[in-house]
A and B are shown apart, each in its own frame.
Chain A
Amino acid sequence: MSRTTGTEITREELKVFLEEADEQIGLLDRDIVRLETEGDNPDLLQEIFRAAHTLKGSSAMLGHECMAELTHAMESLLDGLRNRQIVVNAEVIDSLLYSLDVLKMLEEDLASCKDGSLVDISLAVARLESATERARGVVVPSLDMAEADTVSMERAGKHESAVGNSLAGTDDDHGRMTISANQGGHTSFQSVRVDVRILDNLMNMVEELVIDRSRISQINRVLESRYAGDELVRDLSQTSNHIAKVINELQQDVMQVRMVQIGTLFGSFPRLVRDLAQKQKKRVDFVMEGEDTELDRNIIEHIRDPLIQLLRNAIDHGTENPEEREAAGKSPMAAVKLSASQEEGHIVISVEDDGRGIDIEAAKDVSVRKELISAEEASRLSAAEAVNLIFMPGVSTAERVTDVSGRGVGLDVVKANIEKLNGTIMTESKSGEGTKFIVTLPLTIALIQGLMVSVDKTIYVMPLAFVTETMRIEPQKIETIRGREVIRVRDYIAPLLRIDGAPCMKTNGLSSGDKGFVVVARYSDISVGIIVDELMEQQEFVVKPLSRYLCDVRTLAGATILGDGQVALIVDIPTLVRMSAYQRQ
């Protein structure tokens, strides 16, 4: 078998291999880190072994000798673990993780069709072998590069010499395993890759069907009342009922196709946390929950970076080093928890640590020093409000700057990115006890819960996520502050706005005031009252992008198509609130 490059295998074969390799490497990424705490879990060991073994099999089939050799060495080590000949220790884990990194590089080179990878696997193989030997209790002199070279040269010549007899016995087993692993592979990963654009098109067409469906049933009702008892009309209504049912199911399935388990995103996080913690000499017990929570793939794509930033933040700033923790009477092992769950039409993702908490006074000081708020404002903030100062640009309470976070860029970007997805982020923190970031996201950006209102005979949709209450306008309750109308909502004062963002001035004020309503919307602790003529129903709306042609109409977040085929506009409440805040200054 010779080292094969892109010329000798078909593009299709390579694609299949890379997809499988992706899956197995992802699995290793997730599972090897788990070994640190669950080194004696036989199921876990078996799973990791199988992943390495599958990789070995398929890379050998492809003729990729480097990858086959490396995975073979990993497999040998894992086999020892599986058979309890060796026990998990730091060196074992490190060598496995290092090999995984090399494996990723090999895969990357293959994917980018580089002719002949320059990645050297000899050190990885040597580390694996030495970890295996040492864990078995055989004393091996500590490794240097020269030795690594000889080891790999020997291996190239004669396959089993380095690891020796212990492997010979397992060879039969490998043959058997190949078959079972392949079978497993075929049943558990039956999936098709589909271009997202095709999904979007499908979605569009289904939505049209939904609109047509309601038209047909309308027409049907008219026909029924006009030609009651006519058999043909009865047939028609039966058929149209059936079509309606099928369309409903179709709609649900198409929505479902767009959903992805958030676990696919979480996969690389344990490794990330481990590496960060190790670099900073911290001990972190990282737990993930709710990996099976489903989320629209559009959101999954955009939530990755914000979550990484939050995890980095938790490890960099949240958790303390073991000495500090022990001095504070805590366990030296810090706990970081990432969890996802679905709650009433929302996805809630939280990142929680049991570290030192946010220093609220420091956050206030920095904010005042950077002139983001005045000293007087700072003194008036409640603890819960002050915690959220960390989302202001330039505010970081970190004592030192690390290479990943601490420069004060980050949380404001995280917040902006989450808001782009119609989500929100909140912080809870107790000094000395820890910090929790709570991200709330819509299930899908394609659907929102909204309140329909009408203004000037035009229908608008207000995303319910931001609506706190609605009330009838009572003219005597409207007051003015420097010519601008405001309304008192319980204990706070909300400026009144129109839907186009224009503030309400006394001069052109509420001539139609007596019959209007106010929708009170709240965003980042600022409430505004939006004047509307009429409140209509609440329901789910499909969000359509406004044409790029209208992209500067900033007070609109998009549009939606109503049951009668008309277009209604979706109000961008964060922008409306922000504009109102600027006008106030």
Chain B
Amino acid sequence: MSSSDYLALLSKAIEKLKAQEPILSLNEARILVVGDTHGYPEVTEWALELAEQLGAEAVLFLGDYVDRGPKGVENLELVLSRLLEDSSPAIYMLRGNHEDLEMNYYYGFYSEALNKRGPDYLNSIAELYSVLPIAARADKVLFVHGGVPCRLCTNSEEDPVRVEEIAQEAHVLREEGSPSLVEGKSSLVMQALWNDPRGSIEWFIPSPRGPGIYLYGRSAWRKFLEENKLELIIRAHETVDGVLVWHSNGDHREGVSGVLEFDELEYCVVSVFSSLYHGRRAAVLLVDVEEGVIEPVYYNIE
């Protein structure tokens, strides 16, 4: 492929993503969910093959395609080219906190892309970041990179944010362009990509990740789910051992395997991590909305 081919790939992907709502509504029942892949196309390839083997109707990527791992360019292009194929399973992409040019300066993708593809490519990347959807909804499940945002953001009860409010803000950011969210003021969208769940707290406390980012507690995620008529959040963003479940009572289990029913996951938050850079296990989640089950599948396990 020549450099104009790579630019064409990006511009076609941008057109396709622009036509999607910033909060996707998924109609597929069997969805393979992939967490952070961070420059490891081998995991992405494995997930795409696995989706076909398992008869998944859609593959949903929760973001963080680039940075940290050595092959961010290849990884992102692999997902984008599959997005454009229009074959089954359907491919959906969400924005992660690393789909952010400011982050890319510090975590490797900026120089990687500059070396491998040149400056024009980065201009298109900035446009791509602005149009990536922020979250997806399938029945009672919300998929998002980080999780629950807040308005007042203190460790006491507040009116829960509605998903429509995040969508409104996302529309505005799309119009304005948002190559970097960390440079702007704190927003619901930024928090949805950055916040982390912590069962030992109740509402919100400032996150060590930085200003405008929060840790959300067990009452915060329950209220948010209730308000939005949801029951479960599936998210990525943290280097967990494959799959971690935060239960509604605030306890958590890591490295979870086996089939889990929606009934036992009511008002839970599930984290899935799919990269290899952290030296722990990579996993993906098969979510069957009709059957009401999720099943973790671990990478490289015979």
Partners in one complex: no
Binding site for B on A (CB under 8 A): none
